[in-house]
Amino acid sequence: MSTPARPPGAKPLRADARRNRERLLDVAVRAFSQDGPDVTLDAIAKEAGVGIGTLYRHFPTREALIEEAYRNELAKLCDAGAELLDEMAPDAAMRTWMDRFVDYLATKRGMAGALRAVIASGANPYAHSRDRLIGAIGALLDAGGSAGSLRRDVAAEDVLAGMNGICLAAGEPAQRDQAGRLLDLLMDGLRHRAAGTA
């Protein structure tokens, strides 16, 4: 798992401070996704088991916490590709990563109200999202192409568009089984087949 970004020139965090920061981010994602943008920072600090001063030391504003919580989720998703490739075959890693992508989009949808507040403040939490996602998908495709289990002629951008389409069509929690079936169909299209086979 990646360590959340810190300002350039910032001193490395002590282990306990890093744990507090990670706990705050995890709680913030859950709170903003489930309770909406108006959840109090006091409630987030309390659930994370830290004081409000600790929260403000890491995140001086509500918008800073929301933006970093979103970016941390994106980093976890993108970093998972390499981790999955260490654990399983590339095609299995790609399919598992797709499930995580669906979960990520559900979290992003849950945080939509909070993220709108960040955008209204002048920040752009999505500035590098697409590039990070394309990079993660590209690495999975490259590994599958090298292993002979995934096609080499598919662009990462097309896979991202396909997954986004699946999430638009079946992105609600009650549609999770359907989303899985649609991801299986997308994977069937990505798997390598020798020329001339059906």
Strand partners, 42: none
| Domain topology for 62-190 | Tetracycline Repressor; domain 2 (1.10.357)
Check for a shared fold between 13-60 and 62-190: no
Tens of pLDDT, residue by residue over 152-196, are 999 999 999 999 999 999 988 899 999 999 999 999 999 977 444
Q: In one letter, which amino acid is 89?
A: A
Residues 80-109 have a mean pLDDT of 95
What is the value of pTM for the model shown?
0.84
Cα angle, residue 117 at apex, residues 115 and 118 outer, rounded to 5°:
65
Q: Would the pLDDT of 3 be above 70?
A: no
* Pair 102, 124: CB distance under 8 Å: no
Residue 144 tokens, joined: 């599958």
Q: Would the pLDDT of 112 be above 60?
A: yes
CATH code of the region 13-60? 1.10.10.60
Residue 171 tokens, joined: 């992105």
Q: Would the pLDDT of 40 be above 90?
A: yes
Residues 91-100 have a mean pLDDT of 97
In the chain, what are the domain boundaries?
13-60, 62-190
Q: Is 152 exposed, middle or buried (0-12, 13-18, 19+ CB in 10 A)?
A: exposed
pLDDT of residue 8: 54
Distance CA 73, CA 175 (A): 22
Distance CA 180, CA 91 (A): 15
How far from chain centre, in Å, is Cα 99? Answer: 11
